[in-house]
Structure 1
């Protein structure tokens, strides 16, 4: 399967700001990335929109009010900037025209600083409200700000990847969903923490546009609670994964160490994704153990994830290990007695 180097079209998901016409629009490119587009002046277009294809967690940061719209557009490279003419297109899809380097440097096209998501006239609709539910985590003991952010961060990471992986095996799964995961995996070097942070940031952004996870309440009195809203099945899946890690800790730890050692022995832990195992036997062993680990920690549709890795066992093993670590870190809060199911 070939992934286009550039997007050619995009589907309109929702108009976010409307004043005498769409001013800010959320789209999804044919490469599976979210896009934001703002209305601009361009003489050769009837209703010109300037669009940025978004990678990583930039969309999530914008929607959460942690970055303004100008930042999102400035963060996009020239190869991810496009125009389209809203007056020439069907209601649901648009044809993209790549921005030139000169156009990317034109300050007139960029939104002004200080525009945040709170300015939306039409708040983001959830595409999949069916199955939405609330999950309450009861907390106790001493909690620092870093504990709250760390706990929620691990929930958000595992929720996002589990949401996407669960969907890959559904009848309704689209080729775009599979391409998105594949592209998100393959564009990382998988040599260190930056690759993992960027990967999970992208997964969060994808889930955010489909069925977002959000905090609906926090109360800290010791005891208190953290309450989140998201897809019920996925939240239950995260809980089941945590329970499995606690219940079968020794066995899961054993398999985790087996995968870790296999990568370490061949010098692959921090190696570029282009590196491979020294023998076919080592590769086959690692694939078997990583697949087993994925099942033990609740990562669904392993064959699709392996396919998204282009059957690169080194990358596949690193993805599975990263997910396992996040579930393990969540489980630690339970084992310490600081969290229990609400």
Structure 2
């Protein structure tokens, strides 16, 4: 039989006459434990499952229900224990072998919004952005908008965070890795790059959609960092105001990189001694400044002053800003006050 495992009680999430759902930790691992029915009045049986940090955050943010946590993720470990044996906030759990029976599982569609108590480590978002929605939308349209808007937001958030010397070293390491670990030679390099950015910032700065009112006119409420929301809005407005000149600058640099086969060259193969390095850096900086991109020097530092990687990232940001700005230019999306 597998060894027992010790866990520490952190907080009660659902309480109705007794604790029904509790949060535990075993070293750094999260566990969620659910009360189950038993025949012995002198015992309080629970079933617990380990939860990865990613899944735990998804559950607390309302993106997955509790049944998903207990049934779907691979690599889970499940345990049973008697809450009556809790001592000094510590409990010994017995590994559960095999598939959990239906009687042990939570009902479908139970989300964190139904908790009666807040998480002990609850994260309070720093700000709220309200985006007004109008006109006609197909389902793929909103997904495309939110994806591009998120890319711009996280790009600004991570460069701002890296510029802050008071940030935890682990956060700065995640951000640095996102900017230096991709080949940037086209295709999925950029998808992976933008997907890696959220890991470098705190949960309270990450985007979380709070409410959607689909009617036309309607609105979307998004939680995140207020300063980054303001920077994102400024970039979108700057793009709309300067789109003609920006388009010309983009095509000039893109054409130069294409003709000289730099678009398909991995970033690490581009040496500082390349004769084209000063020209590429100059043109990319010109686009960044015309966009009114903050923290340009920080961005160059993040890519270790590699002119080609700097240029490719600026061009990729241009493309995402272009797609985001079009929704505002069409009148289907509009900025409103952030403090609502």
TM-score normalized by the length of structure 2: 0.66
Query: Match for residue 195 of structure 1?
Result: 189
The alpha-carbon distance between structure 1 residues 220 and 168, as it changes in their structure 2 partners (threshold 3 A), is same
Measured in 1, the distance between the counterparts of 2:265 and 2:64 equals 33
**Conserved? CA contact 2:151–2:320, under 8 Å:** yes
Query: Match for residue 63 of structure 2?
Result: 65
Shift of residue 303 of structure 1? 2.2
Shift of residue 331 of structure 1? 0.6
Query: Match for residue 24 of structure 2?
Result: 23
Shift of residue 188 of structure 1? 1.9
**Conserved? CA contact 1:133–1:232, under 8 Å:** yes
- Structure 1 gap ranges (5+): 1-14, 28-35, 40-48, 76-106
Structure 1 segment 1-342 matched on structure 2, within 5 A: 23-24=24-25, 37=30, 63=61, 65=63, 118=112, 123=119, 125-126=122-123, 129=125, 132-207=126-201, 209-276=203-270, 280-342=274-336
- Structure 2 gap ranges (5+): 1-9, 14-18, 33-48, 77-95
Measured in 2, the distance between the counterparts of 1:25 and 1:314 equals 45
**Conserved? CA contact 2:11–2:22, under 8 Å:** no
Task: Provide the secondary structure at the position in 2 that maps to 1:280.
Answer: coil
Task: Provide the secondary structure at the position in 1 that maps to 2:136.
Answer: coil
Measured in 2, the distance between the counterparts of 1:137 and 1:222 equals 13
**CA offsets, 1:59-101, max 9 Å, x none?**
87565535955876659xxxxxxxxxxxxxxxxxxxxxxxxxx
RMSD: 4.1
Shift of residue 248 of structure 1? 0.8
Measured in 1, the distance between the counterparts of 2:213 and 2:326 equals 21
Shift of residue 235 of structure 1? 0.6
Measured in 2, the distance between the counterparts of 1:125 and 1:330 equals 31
Shift of residue 51 of structure 1? 9.2
**CA offsets, 1:144-182, max 9 Å, x none?**
111111111122221112111122223423443332222
Shift of residue 183 of structure 1? 0.9
The alpha-carbon distance between structure 1 residues 261 and 175, as it changes in their structure 2 partners (threshold 3 A), is farther
Measured in 1, the distance between the counterparts of 2:269 and 2:290 equals 27
Measured in 1, the distance between the counterparts of 2:267 and 2:159 equals 21
**Conserved? CA contact 1:126–1:211, under 8 Å:** no
Measured in 1, the distance between the counterparts of 2:180 and 2:195 equals 15
Task: Find the structure with the greater CA-based Rg.
Answer: 2
The alpha-carbon distance between structure 1 residues 17 and 60, as it changes in their structure 2 partners (threshold 3 A), is same
The alpha-carbon distance between structure 1 residues 246 and 228, as it changes in their structure 2 partners (threshold 3 A), is same
Query: Match for residue 92 of structure 2?
Result: none
Measured in 1, the distance between the counterparts of 2:183 and 2:75 equals 23
Measured in 2, the distance between the counterparts of 1:71 and 1:186 equals 33
Measured in 1, the distance between the counterparts of 2:111 and 2:53 equals 17
Task: Provide the secondary structure at the position in 1 that maps to 2:164.
Answer: coil
Shift of residue 295 of structure 1? 3.0
Shift of residue 212 of structure 1? 2.3
**CA offsets, 1:285-327, max 9 Å, x none?**
1112212322333433222222222332222222222222111
TM-score normalized by the length of structure 1: 0.65
Query: Match for residue 45 of structure 1?
Result: none
